[in-house]
Amino acid sequence: MPLTTTARLMDGTALAAEVLATAARDTTALTEQTGVAPCLATVLVGDDPGSATYVKMKQNRCAKAGIRSRHVALPATVSTAEVVDAVGRLSADPEVHGILVQHPAPPAVDERAVFEAIDPRKDVDGVTLHSYAAMSFGLEGFASCTPGGIMRLLDAYEVELAGRQAVVVGRSPILGKPVGMLLLGRDATVTYCHSRTRDLPEITRTADVLVAAVGRPELLRGGWIKPGAVVIDAGYNPGNVGDVEFDSAARRASLITPVPGGVGPMTIAVLLEQTVLAATRQLGVALASAAAGSQSTD
């Protein structure tokens, strides 16, 4: 039977291409003005193939935009102190403008301690406590990339947020928690759901804007979605499967992000955009572009 999809797709691939094109133009302008190209340092601890793929994708995107990258690979057996030391050296290196530590670190490594070794001015991935606090208070800083990308998608599709019910399923430090804070900053009424939430479907059915950020393949079914809701699937499970059962959800939603091609590409686009912005600030120049002036997290 043919699928009847009623929801409009939110095209993250197309929006990311626009953001990346601006980042590339800004990189050219910055490099011409200062003689220095922005540089993103990537840190990968351990040998998780998925993480290695994401880091490679980030490096490839950097190369296409004219952003230099520096890579630090550390074995899974490394101690927290050694990773903190490596990140600390990148923080102190004036040639590095942005630092990305790929999540998750192996269980024996204290990821929070590692994140906190990132100089907040170089925290283009928005993972430090400083960035989280600044974002929560609507102050200048870098948003966590996936939440930042989600907000850009919502704005591009002119989704009204003020006064709407937003439900975030998931409370991870780099995805669920910060996206809820960004939605709150835009005057949505935010409910967080998590593994101890009772009657999850009853709560998700109240959502005008539903963000699935739980990391469980197709957990959220069509019947859990309020007719006409905006559904953001931030799941990145193996095999490119999201957290939302797409076909049934698309029959109820008004707008929905696909997986792949929705939130994922925006994560990397925001990372590059923030890297260029970090370099611009550190090099003490002003760029006229939209990206350089559009980093308000309020």
Ligand X SMILES: Nc1nc2c(c(=O)[nH]1)N[C@@H](CN(C=O)c1ccc(C(=O)N[C@@H](CCC(=O)O)C(=O)O)cc1)CN2
Nearer to ligand X, 67 or 101 (CB): 101
- Segment near ligand X (CB under 6 A); pick from 73-81, 154-162, 164-172, 264-272: 264-272
For residue 237 the two structure tokens come to 């499970």
Active site residues: 58, 102, 125
- Is 132 a binding residue for ligand X by CB under 6 A? The answer is no
CA separation for the pair 179, 235 (Å, rounded): 13
Nearer to ligand X, 185 or 265 (CB): 265
**Least CB distance to ligand X at residue 101 (A):** 6
- Is 216 a binding residue for ligand X by CB under 6 A? The answer is no
**Which 29-88 residues touch ligand X, going by CB under 6 A?**
54
Contact between residue 135 and residue 297 where contact means Cβ atoms under 8 Å apart: yes
- Is 171 a binding residue for ligand X by CB under 6 A? The answer is no
172 annotated as belonging to a binding site for a ligand: yes
Type and span of the H or E element at 189: strand 189-193
- Is 260 a binding residue for ligand X by CB under 6 A? The answer is yes
For residue 229 the two structure tokens come to 């809701």
Please name the residue ranges forming H helices in 227-288. Answer: 246-250, 263-282
CA separation for the pair 94, 111 (Å, rounded): 24
Q: Name beta bridge partners: 4.
A: none
Range list of β-strands (E), 170-228 = 189-193, 209-212
**Using the rule CB under 6 A, which residue among 146, 172, 280, 297 binds ligand X?**
146
CA separation for the pair 93, 87 (Å, rounded): 10
- Is 109 a binding residue for ligand X by CB under 6 A? The answer is no
Taking residue 272's Cβ as centre, other Cβ atoms within 10 Å add up to 29
Q: Which of 64, 42, 38 is nearest to 53 (CA)?
A: 42
**Least CB distance to ligand X at residue 54 (A):** 4
**Least CB distance to ligand X at residue 268 (A):** 5
Per-residue binder mask for ligand X (CB under 6 A), 229-258, x = binder: -------x---x------------------
- Segment near ligand X (CB under 6 A); pick from 177-185, 245-253, 260-268, 275-283: 260-268
DSSP state of 72: E
- Is 106 a binding residue for ligand X by CB under 6 A? The answer is no
Strands 39-45 and 98-101: parallel
Residue set of the binding site: 170-172
- Residues engaged in binding ligand X (CB under 6 A): 54, 100-103, 125, 145-146, 174, 236, 240, 259-261, 264-265, 267-268
